[in-house]
Structure 1
Amino acid sequence: MTKLDQIKKPLMYLKYHKKFAYPLQIDYDFPIPTLPLPVIPVPIEEEPQPLAPTFLVDLSMVPDDLIAYIPDHPVYKGDIHNQLTDKQKAKLQPLQVGSKAWKKHIRELKSKKESELLIKQHASELREKAKLWNTSFDVINPRLVLAAQLTDLQDLQGEKALIEQEILMIPLTTNMNKKKVDKLKDKIRKLSPQIVKILSSLPSLKGTPYYVTEEERALELRPNKRTGNTNRNLDLLLSLHPEKRVRISDSPEPGSLHLQPLAVNLVFQNLILYI
């Protein structure tokens, strides 16, 4: 097979049809020539393992859950971050391995490292959500809070509407019904402060933090959002013959619907841009 045949072979399936036809599976069953690419091994990220202590430690006196968190240096009371100088350490005695104070110190180190790991995992999840939402890392957290607040507001407004509808269905003919209506109105009064609180916090959540860079602000304009002229899911409406599918009758009669293809295309393009 010559190079010319390799180039033309995939193109023989690209046929032009005057009338739209739904593609079949056989239209896609053709080999596509590809170039052999070098396989780049993906590095596997492994969780960092704590270093084994360099000084002698009697592990028989240490609980199993603390062995992985023993530092490679002696520990001193109150020195969680290991910030004491050599002169200060010379005046102090290190904590004895296995003592209550030593175990308490190691448990504090364990809690500190576990919290740092949770913070890193949370930051990694936010970065993934920022990519999914097509925004920046600094803006994704306010966006998530805003989405949660709007969801709560929607639930509260829905609950309030159901109560108001129930009130309208109760006839005020007896004292029993009036008391029932008063109780329902009390429920609405209890919901009102929550609704007002959420509504008052929305403007601050919609703003952009001051520390966001110009490049990150540009992401808020949605530069990667698909427009109407690039959306391939509207082939039936934006194809070469939209007039045959949109126009109901060639000669409009009183009361009949007669739409222009150009107007329909503009409406759908504006709808996609709005979404």
Structure 2
Amino acid sequence: MSSFPRADDFAPIPEYDFIPLGPNDFIFNHDAEHSLSATESPLPDKLSSFKNFYITRPLSYSNRKYSFSTKYEKFHVTAHHRAGYNKIYNFRRSRSFFFELVDLISDTNQIELKIYTNDYHMSSIPIQHTSTSRLPNIKFQISKLLTHFFSTQKVIPRRLQSKFFGLIRKKLLERVDFIKSRAQKNDLTNHMTKTFFNFSYKKYRFYFGIYIPCNHFCTTNRLNTTVHTCTVPVPFTLSKGRSACILHHKKLVLYITPKDEIPPHDNNCCNPKDFHADLLHRRWASKRISNHFSRRLGISFDTKYHAYGLNNNAKKGSDCIYGKIYFNFKHRHSTSIRTQKRQHARFDSLRRQIFHSSNLPPNANRDDQFLAAKRKCFLFDAEQHICKRLKHLRYKKKFSTPLQSYYNFPLPFPDQDIGIIPVQPVKDNNIPIDELSISTDPILDKVPSHLIPLIPDYPLYAGGLRNQPSALKVKKKKLQPLTVGSDAWLALMEEAYERYEENKRYEENKLVYSIKWETDPDRAEYREDLYSAVMDYTDAIHNLELKKLEIASRPPSLPVPKNTKKGKQKKKNKQADNASTSTFTSDIITDKEILMELCDPVNIHEDIPYSVRSKAQLYEPDVMVMDANLKKRRADTNGNLDSHYGLYIPKKVCTAPDRLGSDTSSSNDTK
């Protein structure tokens, strides 16, 4: 069996032993700087004012030995999102090991190197090492830390440690250079450099990296307001020394530098959403057209931004502000025949995949293909014209005219968008009829004033407001629209007005619920519906149980006294017995009928709360998210939670009466 490699068995390489020093060298250890006097420092005096990872060895070696220790330091985070570069915080399927490097001599007599890990099975007992230098260089520190790791882990066998030792040390030394190069940059970009790399052995996963502390201020918990510096390892570093752990990603300063705009001097002065909305408004107002070309598919197309009119939100309730138009599709294949065949194959494969996902047959007509491609925002024909809604910018309130004073960014208006059919402005219904402008159109004089703001821009056809024919059906059957002001047209408009009033009352109720539950309208509506369903079911159960209690508390009917005399009294006693029996039977039947009637509402309202929750979970899962409760106690501060400590109380099996009052018990005996 090969011997385990020692950390100090290496030849000094100029690449890692000495690098020219600079004033902008990045420092991993963010502790306070402590410099030594000229008599205590083993380095020349001219290098004492510089900071660098790589410390040159003194020219004359002494026999003095300096001791230092290596140990494990545990870290743990409570954030649930651990994907991407945050995978280093996952401890169920992988383990992370971050090596802390010391580049400054502290005031203490002994240097302590730490390995930050989320593996709580590792022993925290430190291991002592010796060195001929008071401050070992980076390669020596990494070697000793790796020696500590291999001597405490139980996964990688000893026969393979010599193979992986040099590989991991080389990767860590390269990671030091990568981090240093990124952190010293002064450019205004958001490019990230990871502080770790992946390493796997069979089914075991490891993440090795260089430890950089978060250094953002945070509190211990909600009860203890003591502020301290966060020491959790960071997964990446950015230019200008920016870094943050998973708990403080929101505190990072990110730069917004669009290519066609002048970058602002201070990125914190404007909300990113407002800045993006202002950028889209400028691109829409300047009628900017962007050209896109794909060499992989051999196609090209153009895009531009479109602004929806304000009436689109006031009448139809469509709250999207902007849309992105895709048009001018062209095939631009390569001149190489081999590349051209590959482009054809990729494009045909993508088109078949999109049509197959929409369940279209191979011989589908052109309109169905255009509709399927529109759902996936896919261009394959020069006659296509797709407008995709930008759903991240919306109006705050539906079915109302938005006001500019409610927004921190400029709103587009219909009369500014050339090429879009102008929409009639919305008239305010709160203005008295006397102050309304007199219409010069004789046709509109026949239309009531409350219907004028709801007149659509498209023609109406017979058949009801919900059964309007499609454009293809109108063209095929040559249908004639209804005349404005006719009786059929007015009936459709009255139906539209009733629908508008119903939507208006619905929105007003949502606002009332929002004030009542102190949350947004969608969540408030869901909670009000669930509250009403639960209360109806509770009332039905209460009425049923109240009737059962009344029947149970009713005194039993006394038997009719019988005469013991013989003769004529026998017939009277028999008649009295029959009468009492019939009365008692009629009372029992009446009580059962009442119980059956009370059981019907229980059966009806029993499944309504579950249907409300399942519907919200299927169509609107965001409304089920509860607001943050600042007064809620955490699990680690509540000692009454048995589940927190893994204790479970065995439950007993008991009999419960059914809804008709009769007791039912399980046939199986519980031991």
TM-score bracket, normalised by the shorter chain, equals 0.3 to 0.5
Higher relative contact order (CA 8 A, sep 6+): 1
- TM normalised by structure 1 equals 0.47
Structure with the greater alpha carbon radius of gyration = 2
Higher strand share: 2
- TM normalised by structure 2 equals 0.22
Higher helix share: 1
